[in-house]
Amino acid sequence: MIFINSTSSAKSNPRFFTNSSPSLILIAFLSIVASYLLGCIVHGDLKSSHKFAPIAPPRHVTKSSSNVIIRHEAISSVVAGYSNAHVENIVHPAMLAHPNPRNVLIIGGSQDDAQVQVTVKEVLKYKAVEDVAVVAALQAATARIEEPIRHEGFLCHIYNRTREERVKYFDYLEGLHHLSLETRILCEQKSSFDVVILLNPFSQLSNVQLDTTIQNLSEDFYMSKNGIFATHLGPSPHLRRKKKMKFQEQCHSFKCSSHLQLQLIGHLTTKTKFTNIHVYEDTNGSGAQSIRTPQSFLVLCKDIDCKKNWYAGENYINYQIRKRLSSPPLYVDGATLNRYTRPHKAWENLFCSFPENKRECSYLNGFDPSVPNVPREAFEVKPSSIGKNVGRGLFTKVDIVEGSYFMQEVAVHQVIFSVQSVAVILKTKQLLLELYNETAFLDLQDYAAHLTHQKNKYEIDSLLTYMDGYGYDDITFGPTGNFVDSGMNTFMNHGCNKTFNFGSIFLVFDRKAGITNSKLEYLLLSEEEADPNKPQIDEERNEILFNPLSDRHLDHQLSSYEGAIFNVVKGQELFSNYVHYNGIDGWASGIQDLRAECRGEKVGTVVKVEGIDL
């Protein structure tokens, strides 16, 4: 209803309109349309039929000591709300994933950009941050710089400086390059950046040297060895991909260059120093509340250690926020970051929309009802058939067809020791050793040997023995967590000389499909074939850095999809392959131990420990 002044003519009109009502309606309609278009233009929500426009906040700003004031009063409240939510989603996941960010590089804006100022404000909330460099663009300078740019003390880790002294602005990376060279001489220290934040990334795609620039940026000269890169990926993919992908007639691979987001990911991951990638979504999209679109963001890490904080629990992250920030964020907390640990389903759908990934997607699409599951009642635990020095073993009471699941009703209940939990357990044991003046060296790779030299007996040893004797180390969520099979599978022994008959049933699926060069062949590597000096991993998975399908089903892959890789007859003992159970850190010692045990030169941890009176 449109309200007008209460006049006699209006009151006498039963339709409550005057003769001028059509013009009022037109004016109101045009005002609504103009407001909508203005919001779209400001926040990048107007898209062409082939690509989306990156978010670009207004450039006309004035700065005060505490905040950024937008001159256009009509949109100031909208931009302020958008800027904080959007920038927090870029800044804090990356900053909190790094253990101690001191130098931060922001690319994609100038001193007069509202988004830059809000980003700098969020970055400087971290107490450890000492220097922030802001570079306008990734492109090289058009003219060669004859004299090095000198900012005394910048990147030299000088304390007690004002905010203005900690933030410096550059037009091009070349100017920062000269400064970094100079700093290495003046400060006698490395001055690489711990966190790099790229704003408005799609404006950089026109740079013909983008691949080379990103490769150089990921080197240790610019980024520290545990450096982290963060940027915005634009609106999240739609769940219904076919309609969205119609215009991309040449897009037949996940490495497609005609899809802007995949093109950007390709630039950031091709021949760079990054080892793991994390894509996440937040519903705090651009623009006013009524036209918000979920936005995706990306974090790239050079060191696998970044997974420790990335997959940490809510309470740990909340503690880190209170400890490391001068004031908490408005939109981000531990619960928010826990949602970011997995890509959105839309990214998995995009990955699976390409024919090259159909087979893998069919494998990881939950439990297949057509695949038989052998329940736990069909198994029994008794002394191993290998010999008295081996201990217990797992046997089947029925014939099992290759490709069958094992005890999936039990396997889904995981026994997980997170990275933080393992660290706490080891620290507790170390404190007990120090308290009682113990000198034994704490080494989980040979924990049974450690116990034989230990004077006192501690209750925590039972927990460590359970982890070391029945579990396996894994770096899926960072170095190093530990996982123990929840069912009777935990009593399964190692199959020496490739006698194992238990493993990933996807090996069977590939074999039946006639695939001779399966990606999973590395799982069949025996202890004698393995090179102790070179951990054998899934090389293709390492090459394809971004796999949203795998990233969304990490827990499921750790506990499920395992069963008979060959036909097993009733009464036969079941064997697994322990080659990959020691992780990267314990690879060499683990392979040597397996070889010694298979040759009868030593016994396993469980046998050692059970022979000790704890």
pLDDT value of residue 192: 83
Q: How many CB atoms lie within 10 A of CB 93?
A: 25
Digit-coded pLDDT (tens) for 461-471? 888 888 888 88
Whether 562 is covered by a domain: the verdict is: yes
Q: What percent of the chain has pLDDT over 70?
A: 70
**pLDDT of the residue at 238:** 72
Instruction: Judge if 321 and 190 occupy the same domain.
Output: yes
| Closest by CA position to 502, among listed 430, 610, 577 | 577
C-alpha 281/C-alpha 276 separation (Å) is: 17
- What is the SS3 assignment for 5-65? CCCHHHHHCCCCCCCCHHHHHHHHHHHHHHHHHHHHHHHCCCCCCCCCCCCCCCCCEEECC
Instruction: Give me the pLDDT at residue 23, please.
Output: 61
CATH number at residue 269: 3.40.50.150
* Structural domain includes residue 361: no
> What CA–CA distance (Å, rounded) separates 482 from 447?
14
Nearest to 284 by CA among 92, 442, 19: 92
CB 195 within 8 A of CB 98: yes
Q: Which 3 state secondary structure label does DSSP give 166?
A: helix
185 and 311: one domain? yes
Indicate whether 161 pLDDT > 80.
no
Query: 3-class SS at 504?
Result: strand
Q: How confident is the model at residue 518 (pLDDT cuts 50, 70, 90)?
A: confident
> 281-293: per-residue pLDDT in tens?
987 665 444 456 7
345 and 289 both lie in a single domain: yes
Q: Is the pLDDT of residue 22 over 60?
A: no
Q: Do 190 and 291 lie in a common domain?
A: yes
Which tops the pLDDT comparison, 382 or 80?
382
Structural domain of 26? 8-43
The percentage of residues in the chain with a pLDDT greater than 90, rounded to a whole number, is 30
**Within a domain: 2:** no
Residue 540 sits in the same domain as residue 450: no
Q: How far apart are CA 245 and CA 350, in angstroms?
A: 9
pLDDT at 183: 54
Which has more pLDDT, 445 or 212? 212
Tell whether 396 and 457 lie within a shared domain: no
Here the tokens at position 380 are 């029994």
Amino acid at 300: L
**Helix 21-43 crosses helix 76-97 at what angle (to 10 degrees)?**
20
Helix and strand totals (H; E) in the chain: 24, 20
Q: In this structure, how many other beta carbons lie within 10 angstroms of the beta carbon of residue 298?
A: 25
Average pLDDT, rounded, for the chain: 76
Number of domains in the chain: 4
- The β-bridge partners of 574 are 394
Residue 454 forms part of a structural domain: yes
pLDDT in tens, 378-396: 999 999 888 776 788 999 9
Closest Cα to residue 198, out of 265, 141, 256?
A: 265
User: Would the pLDDT of 141 be above 50?
Assistant: no
Cβ(440)–Cβ(412) below 8 Å: no
Average pLDDT (545-550) is 89
> Would you give the DSSP letter of residue 441?
-
pLDDT of residue 153: 47
The reply to whether 453 and 322 lie within a common domain is no
Q: For the domain that residue 381 is a member of, what is the CATH number? A: 2.170.270.10
**571 shares its domain with 586:** no
Q: How many other CB atoms are found less than 10 A from the CB of residue 508? A: 19
Written as six digits, the tokens of 3 are 């309200």
Q: Please check whether residue 116 is in contact with residue 136, taking contact to mean a CB–CB distance below 8 angstroms.
A: no
Q: How remote is the C-alpha of 298 from its chain's centroid?
A: 8
Range of weakest confidence among 155-164, 391-400, 493-502, 581-590: 155-164
Nearest C-alpha neighbor of 204 from the set 261, 268, 137: 137
Q: In this predicted structure, which of 162-171, 268-277, 417-426 has the lowest mean pLDDT? A: 162-171
For 291-346, the pLDDT digits (tens) are 567 889 999 999 999 999 999 999 999 999 999 999 999 989 999 999 999 999 98
Q: Which whole-number Å values give the CA distances from 459 to 165, 454, 502, in the listed order?
A: 54, 13, 33
Tokens 């634009």, residue? Answer: 234
Span 426-443, mean pLDDT? Answer: 81
**Is 61 within the bounds of a domain?**
no
Structure tokens belonging to residue 243: 């309609």
Residue 241: the pLDDT is: 44
Are 275 and 349 contained in the same domain?
A: yes
Contacts 24+ apart (CB under 8 A), 327-334: 327/125, 329/88, 329/92, 329/122, 329/125, 330/84, 330/85, 330/88, 331/84, 331/85, 331/88, 331/89, 331/284, 332/88, 332/89, 332/92, 332/93
What pLDDT digit, counting tens, does each position of 173-224 carry? 766 666 555 554 445 445 689 999 999 888 877 766 778 888 888 888 788 9
pLDDT at 181: 52
Note the pLDDT of residue 374: 95
Whether 261 maps to a domain, the answer reads yes
Give me the DSSP letters along 601-612.
SS--HHHHHHTS
* Same domain for 125 and 79: yes
Highest mean pLDDT among 4-13, 133-142, 242-251, 499-508: 499-508
Residues 6+ apart with CB under 8 A from 362: none
* pLDDT, greater one: 514 or 182: 514
Whether residues 479 and 491 fall in one domain: no
Backbone angles phi, psi at 262, to 5 degrees: -65, -35
DSSP 315: H
Diameter over CA atoms, the chain: 107
Out of 119-128, 153-162, 241-250, 409-418, give the one with best mean pLDDT: 119-128
pLDDT in tens, 550-592: 999 988 888 778 899 999 999 999 999 998 887 677 788 889 8
Q: What is d(CA 220, CA 194) in angstroms, rounded to the nearest whole number?
A: 10
pLDDT of residue 211: 80
pLDDT confidence bin for 64, thresholds 50/70/90: very low
What would the mean pLDDT of 98-118 be, rounded to a whole number? 90
Residue at 37 is within a domain: yes
Per mean pLDDT, which range of 77-86, 138-147, 171-180 is the poorest? 138-147
pLDDT of amino acid 309: 94
Higher pLDDT, 58 or 485: 485
Structure confidence at residue 180 (pLDDT): 55
399-410 per-residue burial string, b: 16 or more CB within 10 A, e: under 16: ebebbbbbbbee
**Please, which residues bridge with residue 61 across strands?**
70
Residue 263 within a domain: yes
Residue 609: count of CB within 10 angstroms of its CB: 20
Handedness of CA 69, 71, 72, 73 (dihedral sign): positive
Same domain, 327 and 462: no
pLDDT of the residue at 13: 37
Q: How many CA atoms lie within 13 A of 263 on its CB side?
A: 17
